[in-house]
Amino acid sequence: MFKNYDELVRFCQEQEVKMIDFKMITPIGRWKHLTIPVERLTPAILEDGLAFDGSSYGYLPVEKSDMSFIPDLTTAFMDPFWEVPTISMIGDVCYCGTPPRPFEQDPRGIAKKAERYMREQGIADEFIIGPEFEFYVFSHIAYENLPQRAFFEIDSHQANWNMGDNSGQNLGYKTPHHGGYHVTAPWDITRDLRNEMCLCLEKLGVPVKYHHHEVGAAGQLEIEIEFGPMQQWADKTMLLKYVLQNMAIRRGFTLTFMPKPLYGEAGNGMHIHILMKKDGKPLFYDANGYSGLSQTALYAIGGILEHAPALTAFTNPSTNSFKRLVPGYEAPVSICFATANRSAVIRIPGYANRPEQKRFEFRCPDATCNPYLAYSAVLMAALDGIERKIDPVAAGYGPYDVNLFNLPEEEKKKIKGLPHNLEAALRALEEDHDFLLKGDVFPEKLIEVWIATKMREVRLVNEFPHPQEFFLYYDL
């Protein structure tokens, strides 16, 4: 938004901005923030940053936890969720010092290093992505997990389970189970909410491709944004989640990107469309190639499929993620590629046939990821495939232009599958992460910390008794 300090000051004076808010990302992908009065903003803050406790973010141990946040003026935006006129900015995490030194494990810094490594190798100038965001908007959510009581309770005014609700006036028009895809009014009760979300995103520089109701009857929605450079689009991913969550609360709803909040309903993914450019020209198009793809594109696909189990530790980093990655819900479980096939991990869209449109879609990620780490890991896998010339056909990854869920069991066994749970994904990352270390993009320490952090989540979930266990075993 701004090129320099003077532009920012002039804007603040003209718009009567009162506060400056700095949004910093934690390792797992959650924004935290720190706010100062606009009068306290100085050129020194933009150069040396603001000090904060890195141990509270999970970056450094408490005995050496002083860190610095360096704001990025180009990310500034008028924050629509503050009553007092406020500008928000994203930025980078650094070690304290003069000048501040980049922190090797800063997720945003890793995304910058991944793009720099790509350019240094001469493979491409741009790694362009287009994420699709699926989420549920509910009318009510409650959950508790105590030694003597554990539950979650969800409600959605439009859900089919409310068809027989006699507690008050019931006007019908409940969405059929698995029947939500592209429903219109009066079934689609959140259309105006999505319009407001998209208008807000557009105003904040997040270009929206379209929005619609998704398959899930209990208020599953999708907003897809246009394509852009990876690191900038990681910024926009965080901004989109911030806007959607706050806008839902403002309108009296609650919103979740959880991959599988409801048993038996469609899960939430974050499919990533991918293409590369060099000297402004698309690298993935070849009229004579399979589905119009160049050999470079096929090598990129080969790298992503080769490292797919390890990638899921970053692209699907929650225990809930793997409740979505099961057969029968258009969620991919087989490590393969195909054209227009939503049961494959990588799908080549059948409708994108112009040279500048030619791309592929990585379908397993979800929005519980840290987008900087997830997008960077996918880029590094693609680069590894291109550097090592991993041919996905020769490697046995397809193409499988059939419904993989309908294959005979013997045929299914020939196709490698994604990890069945987060622990298996973390084990895969532990065994296969050398491709992430190239160019010092991912520090070994970050991978160690990531695995340890996520394994604690696995153990925590495993240690709590599950309600279904009572149905199975209580009276045995």
Residue 466 labelled as part of a binding site: no
Residue 117 lies in a domain: no
**Residue 442 falls within a domain, yes or no?**
yes
Residue 198 near residue 227 (C-beta atoms within 8 A) = no
User: Per residue, what are the HEC states of 96-128?
Assistant: CCCCCEECCCCHHHHHHHHHHHHHHCCCCCEEE
Residues 435, 387: Cα–Cα separation, whole Å = 11
pLDDT in tens, 174-218: 999 999 999 999 999 999 999 999 999 999 999 999 999 999 999
CA distance 329 to 168: 33
| Residue 54 banded pLDDT, cuts 50, 70, 90 | confident
Q: Is 267 helix (H, G, I), strand (E, B) or coil?
A: coil
How far lies 434's CA from each of 25, 302, 398, 428, 473, in Å? Answer: 25, 16, 25, 12, 44
Helix axes 371-388, 295-306, angle to 10 degrees: 120
Residue 178 is assigned to a ligand binding site: no
Domain contains 43: yes
- Mean pLDDT of all residues in 277-298: 95
Per residue in 240-268, pLDDT (tens digit) is: 999 999 999 999 999 999 999 999 999 99
According to DSSP, residue 296 is labeled H
3-state secondary structure at position 430: helix
Task: Identify whether residues 58 and 132 lie together within a single domain.
Answer: no
260 and 342 belong to one structural domain:
yes
At which of 103, 136, 159 does a domain end?
103
- Domain identity same for 93 and 142: no
Q: At residue 41, does pLDDT exceed 80?
A: yes
Is 354 part of any known ligand binding site? no
Q: Which of 103, 134, 164 is the last residue of a domain?
A: 103
Mark whether 157 and 84 lie in a shared domain. Answer: no
The predicted model gives 347-355 an average pLDDT of 89
| Number of structural domains in the chain | 2
Which one of 41, 68, 103 terminates a domain? Answer: 103
Q: Based on the domain organization, do 133 and 99 belong to the same domain? A: no
Task: Look at the chain and count its residues.
Answer: 476
72 and 201 in a single domain? The answer is no
Question: Are residues 175 and 96 part of one domain?
Answer: no
Same domain, 152 and 258: yes
Distance of CA 423 to the CA centre of its chain: 20
Query: What domain range is 40 assigned to?
Result: 5-103
Calculate mean pLDDT across residues 393-398: 92
pLDDT for 413 equals: 77
- Main-chain dihedrals φ then ψ at residue 242, nearest 5 degrees: -60, -45
Q: Is 330 annotated as a binding residue?
A: yes
The CATH number covering residue 76 comes to 3.10.20.70
Residue 116 covered by a domain = no
Please indicate, yes or no, whether residues 424 and 351 belong to a single structural domain of this protein: yes
Distance from chain centroid for Cα 424: 20
Please state the pTM of the whole predicted model. 0.96
Q: Do 182 and 266 fall into the same domain?
A: yes
Using CA atoms, how far residue 107 sits from 10, 413, 450, in Å, is 31, 37, 12
113 found inside a domain: no
Whether residue 26 lies inside any domain: the answer is: yes
Does 363 appear as a known binding residue?
Answer: yes
Per-residue model confidence (pLDDT) at position 340: 81
409 is in an annotated binding site: no
Residues identified as active-site? 53, 132, 134, 214, 222, 271, 342, 361, 363
Task: Tell me what the mean pLDDT of segment 274-278 comes to.
Answer: 97
- Are both 256 and 400 inside the same structural domain? yes
| Residue 144 belongs to a domain | yes
Quote the percentage of the chain above a pLDDT of 70: 100
CATH number for the domain harbouring residue 421:
3.30.590.10
- Tell me the average pLDDT of the chain: 94
Q: Is 196 exposed, middle or buried (0-12, 13-18, 19+ CB in 10 A)?
A: middle
Q: Is residue 408 one of the residues assigned to a domain?
A: yes
Same domain, 132 and 95: no
